[in-house]
Chains A and B, each alone.
Chain A
Amino acid sequence: MHTPFCIHKCHYCDFNSHVFKAPPWQKYGDALVKEILAYAKAPQFAGRSVSSIFFGGGTPSLAPASMFADVLQAIGDSFVLESDAEVSIEANPGASDACRFEGYRRAGINRISIGVQSFDAKELKFLERIHSGDEAIKAFAMAKDAGFDNINLDLMYALPHQSLAQWFTSLQQAIALQPQHLSCYQLTVEPNTQLFVTHKKKQLAFPDETLALEFFWQTRKQLAEAGFAAYEISNFAQLGKHCQHNVGYWQYDDYIGIGAGAAGKWDDDQQGAVRYTNIRSPQTYMNAVHQGDSAINFREDLAYAEAMGEAVWLGLRQSEGLNLQRFAMRFGQAVEIVYPVLLRQWLGQGLMETYEKVGQSYLRLSDKGLNIADDITASFLHA
């Protein structure tokens, strides 16, 4: 579920977010509900159970709890919402208040992800965040006080001029708060962002490759020591606290995307898959939904072979790798039969490995392979 409104658009952000002084919450919430009711009737989703919900943004923590209550009500009414379903919300420390957090909890949200990014004032300023380090700590406390016992903190590293020591100060501060989950992303200059333009003009001093690798591996080491296991390239959790929703993306599960710029995916009946993205402009999106039109403005139909490539690519992002039984079940063919040459190449070079875990076999990237994950995973894509 995407909430595309922000107080300020940070220069590195390439998500669908728009600065609104007073977002039209009622109208937007109504559109979300309308979309849910429509999907409940779509043959590929009708009657299915929902195991996770993610309210992302934008800044969903700007929205009144009532909007989420309405949406969750609609989901409960139209689908089978599993009793232990994970329901997450993203919160900006600069747009958080205790009262609203309690409201979210009461509405049925049971996991909160706080966009801390850094505790360092200079770094926060560079990132154009609207909050301070103290506000981040306060937001965490508020979430705990509101009854959240599954909290994630988002952090960013490898910023221009950032030293390893500076990064570890922020990382240790985050660990000290004892969240259940940490997402640590290397700052990436994405096309179509303000940062992209600035970097092109000024050539910002991002860490070189050697240092970036140091950041990457040291982060894993420190987090492992603190009890956070890496379960994906940038995601770490205490035992059993993986984000079920995100894991679904990497395991090639179906998901419905609702809201402006939201994306969804479902398996089609030809063993391929469909991906779609909604209209990005909030206004255009709401108008379309309220007129009873489809909110989808991009759709791609992935053929069988393309879907297989995606499943391998996404699966390999996980630390446990691609579950080979699941793959064979989903596609009717073993991965070794579909990609004999690539597997021989990557396994032979020691960039991939296979292993068994509780009766299941997996294919994963080796540590060496993880460094160049894109080169390896892209080779399976059907381009």
Chain B
Amino acid sequence: MSNSEFNQTNVRNFSIIAHIDHGKSTLADRLIEETGALSQREMKKQVLDSMELEQERGITIKAQTATLEYKAADGQLYKLNLIDTPGHVDFTYEVSRSLQACEGALLIVDATQGVEAQTLANVYLAMENNLEIIPVINKIDLPSADIEEAKRQIEDVIGIDASEAIAVSAKTGEGILDVLEAVVKRVPPPANHDDKPLRALIVDSWFDSYVGAVALVRVFDGSMKKGDKICLMSNDKKYEINDLGVFKPAPIPKKSLISGDVGFMICGIKTLADLRVGDTVTLDKNKAEKRLPGFREPKAMVFSGLYPVDSNDFGDLRDSLEKLNMNDPAFTYEAESSSALGLGFRCGFLGMLHMEIIQERLEREYDLDLITTAPSVVYRVTMTDGETVEISNPSEFPEPQLMLEVKEPTVKANIFLPEEFVGVMMKLCQERRGIQQDMKFIGQGRVMLTYNLPLAEMVIDFYDKLKSISRGYASMDYELSDFRSEQVVKMDVLVHGEPVDALSLIVHRSIAESRGRALVSKLRQLIPRHQFDVPIQAAIGGKILARETVKGVRKNVTAKCYGGDISRKRKLLEKQKKGKKRMKQIGSVEVPQEAFLAVLKLGDE
């Protein structure tokens, strides 16, 4: 079928937005199945979450899309472009670009859970992009479903009309046709701008080892066809279109894409850094005047050092980061050298999840053993000479007498939780230097807390703590807020008398001592015993705040070793030895990988 069978009137572009686990992927599966894009047999449980990591974590990291053909009740055939969105706060920019490509969005709310933190964050992004929002109440097959309450919360907490919310069960398929009809009737068709010079938004891009960089584009103006010479408006680079098509969700080649269409574009681009999400594609010989709005460089907010355990792997790590960066240009990396860990990289990430994903991919896909240092944030430091510098590495933090003022980034966090946990949550936020801004009762015994929190406190296991103290019931989303002037200091950690730069951290003066004590105590548990005593100390500017000692091993002798035991005993010893090999040698002390992240584990025994 050629594209011309559909003009813009019969096209709908939409996304699904939801809190994690509210059933976004299941609903997407059901829509694909219902419109026959895939046969039942071809359906994997969740077709849209394709990467291994995503399936494991149950979240969508890379947006994908599917073009569905649907014969509506009015007898006409419609082309429905479903644009998948990533579901995590770290990828807000990617979500917003996906939403920019749509005219409407399905807002899913779990009928048993009500509105949650991400529901709110995502719906505001959709509103910013002027989308038609269709509330969908999911999981109505569950006995505890309360459709009316979910509607009430949509109206009270989010503030949009839920009277025409559609009740569905993505699991059983109930209400799916109503959803498709609503997409046709309520989502506006894209405007016909076929006559204008080409402007297509890069909604998403990823790297395919066979064809190179692939872009998912939404054509706003004009049209593009195979063989066209295009120009990327952010960097003025020019390429020829090798291939165009749509996803159903399998890729189907097409000769052209016209305004309103969503599809893929391949033009032999080698690196993803040249094919940026949010950029505008135009034709080289008939350039558009202005790019589409919203493009920005991704800004790294969380930083950490990545070092190879074996210093011989530095080259491999560099190559792997380079390759991974082609796939995900949103993280930054820069070589740095640590006196404790040798050569490595200071990497910047969009957020905590992004950091974990990159680290896991490096270890899993590139088979590297890495040491990761504790995450830190960017501080804005005004020096005594009036100069302002941004510091993201604790080991580069200036001496106190050289600084006039330090400002740290803060976030505005919305936390949704059952009333019974409000007390412990407020205590946690207080410990993390949070300032309460709002507290709302949203019905059914649930509360929304709004806090201004230092990002530095968020990056050290705040989310895990929030989940554990609320027994998993709390949900949270946050957005970056302003920089706040604070009394922060650099804390050094000395192992066996030597300062270990990779263990340094920046900490608020008011909690420095308690954190120092907790940190050395954790390190004492993590650093294995040696043949000698190993003192561990926390210090600020030469003043020791806390000290613990890993006592030396005094006895380690295998009692029995003869006859049939020899192979087995040797293997036991070899295992001990291999364990040590994965550790980092700092002076005469072997320090395990986990020790560098000890600050994330304080308080768990």
Residue of B nearest to A368 (CB): B531
Q: Contact check: which of B560, B561, B574, B575 meets A314 at CB < 8 Å?
A: B561
Q: Are B577 and A313 in contact (CB under 8 A)?
A: no
Q: Contact check: which of A213, A313, A372, A378 meets B531 at CB < 8 Å?
A: A372
Residue of B nearest to A374 (CB): B556
Kindly state the separation between the CA atoms of A265 and B574 in the bound complex, as whole angstroms: 19
Kindly state the separation between the CA atoms of A351 and B557 in the bound complex, as whole angstroms: 14
B562 within 8 A of A: yes
Q: Are B573 and A377 in contact (CB under 8 A)?
A: yes
Known: A275-B566, A298-B567. A383 touches B577 (CB 8 A): yes
B10 nearest CB across to chain A (Å): 67
Contacts of A246 in B (CB 8 A): 562-563
Contacts of A2 in B (CB 8 A): 564
Q: Which of A93-101, A145-153, A256-264 forms contacts with chain B? A: A256-264
Known: A377-B573, A383-B574, A383-B577. A277 touches B556 (CB 8 A): no
Known: A374-B573, A375-B553. A277 touches B567 (CB 8 A): yes
Q: Are A375 and B566 in contact (CB under 8 A)?
A: no
Kindly state the separation between the CA atoms of A4 and B570 in the bound complex, as whole angstroms: 23
Q: Are B559 and A188 in contact (CB under 8 A)?
A: yes
A180 within 8 A of B: no
Q: Are B564 and A372 in contact (CB under 8 A)?
A: no
Size of chain B's interface in residues, with CB distance under 8 A? 24
Q: Contact check: which of A16, A249, A370, A371 meets B562 at CB < 8 Å?
A: A249
B393 nearest CB across to chain A (Å): 34
Known: A186-B559, A375-B556. A275 touches B567 (CB 8 A): yes
Q: Are B553 and A213 in contact (CB under 8 A)?
A: no
Contacts of A379 in B (CB 8 A): 577
A267 within 8 A of B: no
Kindly state the separation between the CA atoms of A314 and B564 in the bound complex, as whole angstroms: 13
Kindly state the separation between the CA atoms of A370 and B567 in the bound complex, as whole angstroms: 21
Q: Give the size range of A's interface with the partner.
A: 35 or more
Q: Which residues, 333 to 383 on A, are CB-close (under 8 Å) to B?
A: 349, 351, 370-375, 377-379, 381, 383
Kindly state the separation between the CA atoms of A370 and B578 in the bound complex, as whole angstroms: 22
Residue of B nearest to A185 (CB): B559
Q: Are B570 and A381 in contact (CB under 8 A)?
A: yes
Known: A185-B559, A186-B559, A383-B578. A210 touches B554 (CB 8 A): yes
Kindly state the separation between the CA atoms of A212 and B556 in the bound complex, as whole angstroms: 10
Q: Are A213 and B564 in contact (CB under 8 A)?
A: no
Q: Are B573 and A381 in contact (CB under 8 A)?
A: yes
Contacts of B554 in A (CB 8 A): 209-210, 213, 371-372
Kindly state the separation between the CA atoms of A18 and B559 in the bound complex, as whole angstroms: 23
Contacts of B553 in A (CB 8 A): 209, 372, 375
Contacts of B557 in A (CB 8 A): 186, 216, 233, 370-374
Contacts of B559 in A (CB 8 A): 185-188, 233-234
Map CB proximity to A onto B499-531 as digits: 1 under 8 Å, 0 otherwise: 000000000000000000000000000000001
Contacts of B555 in A (CB 8 A): 209, 212-213, 216, 371-372
B570 nearest CB across to chain A (Å): 6
A103 within 8 A of B: no
B558 within 8 A of A: yes
Residue of B nearest to A371 (CB): B555
A184 nearest CB across to chain B (Å): 9
Q: Contact check: which of B531, B558, B562, B577 meets A381 at CB < 8 Å?
A: B577
Map CB proximity to A onto B308-350 as digits: 1 under 8 Å, 0 otherwise: 0000000000000000000000000000000000000000000
A104 within 8 A of B: no
Q: Are A56 and B563 in contact (CB under 8 A)?
A: yes
B576 within 8 A of A: yes
Residues of A at the B interface (CB closer than 8 Å) are 2, 15-16, 54, 56, 185-188, 209-210, 212-213, 216, 233-234, 246, 249-250, 257, 261-263, 265, 275, 277, 298, 300, 310, 313-314, 317, 349, 351, 370-375, 377-379, 381, 383
Can you report 26 A-B residue pairs in the complex whose CB atoms are below 8 A from each other? A16-B564, A186-B559, A187-B559, A209-B553, A209-B554, A216-B557, A233-B561, A234-B559, A249-B566, A257-B563, A262-B563, A275-B566, A277-B564, A298-B567, A310-B570, A313-B573, A317-B561, A349-B531, A370-B557, A372-B554, A372-B557, A374-B557, A374-B558, A375-B553, A375-B556, A378-B577
Closest 6 CB pairs of A and B: A263-B564, A383-B574, A378-B573, A374-B556, A186-B559, A373-B557
Residues of B at the A interface (CB closer than 8 Å) are 531, 553-567, 570, 573-578, 581
Extra A-B contacts (15), CB below 8 Å, given A314-B566, A383-B578: A188-B559, A216-B555, A233-B559, A234-B560, A249-B561, A249-B566, A265-B566, A277-B567, A313-B573, A370-B557, A372-B556, A373-B558, A378-B576, A378-B577, A383-B575
